[in-house]
Amino acid sequence: MKKNNSDFNIPFMSPLAGSTIQNYFKVLHFSRISIRHYPRLFVTLLVILISSPFQLFEWLYFRNKIKRHTFKKPPIFIIGHWRSGTTHLHNILCQDPTNGFITTYQSVFPNNMKSKWLFKTFMERNIPEYRPSDNVKLSADYPQEEEFALANMTPTTFYHFFYFPSFNDQFYEKNIRFNGITGKEKSAFRVKYYELLAKAAFNTDMNQLVVKNPANTGKIKLLLEMFPDSKFIYIYRNPIVTYLSTVRFFNSLLPTTCLEKYEDEYVKGKIIENYINLIQDYLATKKLIPEKNLVEIRFEDFENDTLSQIKSIYDQLGFESWTQAETPIRNYIGNQKHYKKNAYKINKKDLDRVKLAWEFAMKEYNYAIPENLELI
């Protein structure tokens, strides 16, 4: 039986439960951990110790398969700031029976794909039915973003911010911009990243992957180094709504993941800074993508006429599977009509702060303050 919608976390356990033992201790090394989290981390360590023999078998099974694997088609990367509609777009494109993806199970247990008969059962009994922040339905087999998986594979990921918010700036510089990283560290990350994508291809039995990861919005140069012909779909949304949705998401997630003390105002400040960095990094590097390999879509247009927007993506990027994809995509869109959107409120101080900091994006994408926004 699935958990209710009260929180994100597996009971009394950290999402690090899917890590290797080496990664687990490297992550915990970043900062001083609040003592109240020790029992939860001890239980997490026990799960990792139980899974370690399975991980050894996994390494032996996959090491040569991954070395020999080549992608017949480069990945399709969905990028854009968190809370800009990337999840909805990802879920729709993954209805195409020719597309593979990283599953929610793989995002938590990326090192235990050959033993998912055991760990997937455990996960399914504890995963919430809906994502608390936005009511998106959850399942171990549904598509998920890759950065969660990378957090359990390597220290080189921005999502360790969810454990240690005080290291936000260092994580962004090193793990998104790859500044201050050694050649050895970068090479190790590329190996892990390729391993993750190759396993996703094996798991879904597909060679064309649809990969959704907002952090990739700032990693375009690296992605093109690895997959020069990859396709990119960039989705953007009204910055004010994006801000409020991100605050709601963090308020729901951080209490279940964070291992240190933090202040809500500090987190709000980092949300603002991360948006500036991510969007400006994208604007500065998108020119590296060949024009024929990039589509930019406005979330509000996508929401109002979803099927037409998806068909346009297929046409612009030259995808050849529309015949197989149209019916399942149409059916999925039809089934989402019951989805209940969140209503947003904001106080004047926060609104003025976001307007000033994100004015460049409001102008870049021609947005105004939403008319239905409730000011409190």
pLDDT, tens only, 29-72: 988 899 999 999 999 999 999 999 999 999 999 999 999 999 99
pLDDT of residue 339: 62
Longest CA–CA separation in the chain, Å:
59
Query: Which of 216, 9, 246, 209 is CA-nearest to residue 93?
Result: 209
312: domain CATH number is 3.40.50.300
pLDDT of residue 12: 77
pLDDT of residue 336: 85
pLDDT of residue 175: 98
pLDDT of residue 6: 46
Alpha-helical segments (H) within 294-374: 299-304, 306-317, 322-335, 348-357, 359-364
CA separation for the pair 77, 114 (Å, rounded): 26
148 conformational bin, left if phi > 0, alpha if psi -120 to 50, beta if neither: alpha
In a domain, 370, yes or no: no
**Domain residues for 334?**
15-343
In a domain, 369, yes or no: no
Whats the size of the chain, residue-wise?
A: 376
Domain count, the chain: 1
In a domain, 375, yes or no: no
In a domain, 359, yes or no: no
In a domain, 194, yes or no: yes
In a domain, 354, yes or no: no
Q: Is 286 helix (H, G, I), strand (E, B) or coil?
A: helix
pLDDT of residue 1: 41
Low-confidence stretches of the chain (pLDDT < 70) are 1-11, 130-135, 338-341
Structure letter (DSSP) for residue 207: S
In a domain, 373, yes or no: no
In a domain, 4, yes or no: no
Spatial contact of 15 and 108, defined as CB atoms under 8 Å apart: yes
pLDDT of residue 207: 82
Query: Which of 164, 137, 201, 178 is CA-nearest to residue 332?
Result: 137
